[in-house]
Amino acid sequence: MYFVHNYVPEGSADAFFATQAGGGVGSAILDQLKQKVSDTPEDVDARLALLGYLLGRGAASARKHLLWLIDNHPRHCAHEFIVLHTVSSTYNEARQHWLRQLDSCFDDVAVVCHAAIFFSILAPKDSLRLFERAAELDPTNEEFPRKLSHLYASMVGRGSTAENESFARMAAQQMIIAVELYMLPSTLDSYFLPYFPYELSHIAELVMQFDLLEDARSLGELLQKHRSINEGRLNETGSNADIYSLSECLGHSILGRVELAYGYINAAKERLVLMMQLPVGKHSDWSLANALLQIGETQIVCEYIEFFINRLRAKSTENSLVKLSAEDVSFIAQKQNLLNKWLNEIRAGGMPTLN
């Protein structure tokens, strides 16, 4: 059984590109867009292109087009990309227009979602309530708890110490809920498909700043399960090997630092050993190695660095059989030099920052 989402906005992602295209039009095309909107006010693509141009330049005349879009097409997917960053008369008017829409469309998940996105920067608490409502209206859609997670994360630093910790905890909890929904069998596109390791590790790093170790552990364990999660959702195996390795690497790094925070040094070192069993990529993680280096565990850290040196040396040797790009050759040479520099510094008693 595949699950479907209730959030089905008007239009398509092409509307977003139309909005962006408006930012680079010349004066002649701008005049044509203005005339087209004047002649055919219902031409949404033309109005989006014009709106994008005007918003990009902070033009006051963007106001009437934004209000028209809210009043006439509140369900249009273009609203996913329209967020104002400063309080202004345009923002205040648009806010009132969204509130009027919500009075009559509070059961329409697209309208609620688009209003939540509009409020996300300048009225995050209002946005929270609206995304919570969207999640009620579309309970199997992982996108709403994912957005809630990022919204809570964005609020960290805006409150007291206790409030910031609470925001971080809620960010983790919502991300975990999002992943649980993402696990449901589906053929629908998802932000998690390409960005799963980045999404989870970002929130894990945030909660670790507040010593919310069990939240970090839960996220680290989900990273370790990335492959099986995708297999259950997509009913396929063997794809995306690189991204699964990255998820495993980041998961080990997070779980190792959780062990270290609890004082289990050997368990943390075992995580670094497991990271050495993964393929070497351009995005390998050094956070756990840094943490171990800070407490004087130089031997395992040197072994980790040597592992990378040897793998990169092997990669260079393969170049005679499989021609690498100039970019790859340059990356390998630069990384080898940096790794050797770190190794020499550590052996000389130094403590370089590994990154």
Beta bridge partners of 10: 76
Angle, alpha carbons 127-129-131 (nearest 5°): 65
Q: Is the pLDDT of residue 98 over 70?
A: yes
pLDDT band at 21 (very low <50, low <70, confident <90, very high): low
Q: Which tokens is 227 given?
A: 């492959």
- Amino acid at position 336, single letter: Q
Q: Calculate the dihedral angle through the C-alpha atoms of 79, 54, 17, 121, rounding to the nearest 10 degrees.
A: -40
Question: H helices of 276-324, where?
Answer: 287-294, 298-318
Q: Which tokens is 260 given?
A: 């270290």
Cα 102 from Cα 88, distance rounded (Å): 21
What is the reported pLDDT for 155? 97
Other beta carbons within 10 Å of 18: 21
What is the reported pLDDT for 298? 98
Q: Is the pLDDT of residue 315 over 80?
A: no
Q: Calculate the dihedral angle through the C-alpha atoms of 165, 171, 172, 173, rounding to the nearest 10 degrees.
A: 110
What is the reported pLDDT for 242? 87
The interaxial angle of helices 44-56 and 27-39, nearest 10 deg, is 130
What is the domain partition of the chain in residue ranges? Answer: 1-107
Output DSSP code: residue 353: P
What is the reported pLDDT for 20? 65
Q: Is the pLDDT of residue 318 over 70?
A: no
Output DSSP code: residue 142: T
Cα 265 from Cα 262, distance rounded (Å): 8
CB 272 within 8 A of CB 256: yes
pLDDT tens digits along 226-267: 999 999 998 765 567 889 999 999 999 999 999 999 999 999
pLDDT tens digits along 285-313: 999 999 999 999 999 999 999 999 998 88
Residue predicted with more confidence, 171 or 27: 171
Report how far apart, in Å, the C-alpha atoms of 309 and of each of 242, 246, 290 are: 20, 19, 17
pLDDT tens digits along 58-91: 889 999 999 999 999 999 999 999 999 999 999 9
CB 70 within 8 A of CB 47: no
Instruction: Give the residue carrying structure tokens 């009043």.
Output: 71
Q: Looking at residues 120-125, what average pLDDT do you find?
A: 96
Q: Which tokens is 190 given?
A: 């998802």
Q: Calculate the dihedral angle through the C-alpha atoms of 37, 41, 42, 44, rounding to the nearest 10 degrees.
A: 30
What is the reported pLDDT for 326? 82
